[in-house]
Structure 1
Amino acid sequence: MDFLTRKVWGDYINTNAQPTGEHEVHTSSCAHGPSIKNRINLGIFHNSSEAIREAKRYYNNVDGCFYCCPENHRR
């Protein structure tokens, strides 16, 4: 796949855990993400699975956002 045609994700993780304990990963364009002061920038990824893997370096309990990372949303 050509580099210019791949979907690239700018992802971050919410530093505030959800009521069920997990920290959610969001894309930079997600309307459901936390405020800037409550996020850690994870970097740029080609899919949300890569972002989830990076997020686990910060928190053990990680989940993808229902809206922007549905393929990695578990709860």
Structure 2
Amino acid sequence: MPKFVINKNQQNNGDHEIHNVTTGCSFMPNPENQIDLGYHNNCKEAVTNAKSKWPSNRINGCYYCCPTCHTS
């Protein structure tokens, strides 16, 4: 089961991106900017989990490591 983190810093468009730690990503945030989301079956579950914790934030999957969850 893959492990996911969210970048606590916003991207230029206002999104907080979810990254897959298990597969790795060239655009992984620095460790001090990562919030652990734990293990999920897929990025959609990780995004849903993050949105439940931070409902007022824009949350999106990384284009590179979570492309099926990348919407903007």
Indicate whether the TM-score tops 0.5: yes
Unaligned runs of 5+ in 1: 1-7
Mapped partners of 2:11, 2:27: distance in 1: 13
Mapped partners of 1:21, 1:31: distance in 2: 20
**Alpha carbon RMSD of aligned pairs, Å?**
1.0
TM-score, scaled to structure 2: 0.88
TM-score, scaled to structure 1: 0.84
Structure 1 residue ranges (4+ consecutive) displaced by more than 3 angstroms after TM superposition = none
Of 41, 64, 69 in structure 1, the residue corresponding to residue 66 of structure 2 is: 69
SS in structure 2 opposite 1:62? Answer: strand
SS in structure 2 opposite 1:19? Answer: coil
Residues 1:41 and 2:36 aligned together: yes
SS in structure 1 opposite 2:46? Answer: helix
Identity across matched positions, percent: 40
Matched letter for residue 72 of structure 1: C
Count of residue correspondences: 68
Unaligned runs of 5+ in 2: none
In structure 2, the partner of 1:4 is none
SS in structure 1 opposite 2:13? Answer: coil
Q: How does 1:1-75 map to 2 (within 5 A)?
A: 8-28=1-21, 29-56=24-51, 57-58=53-54, 60-75=57-72
> Cα deviations across residues 11-44 of structure 1 (Å, max 9, x unaligned)?
0000000010010000112221100000100000
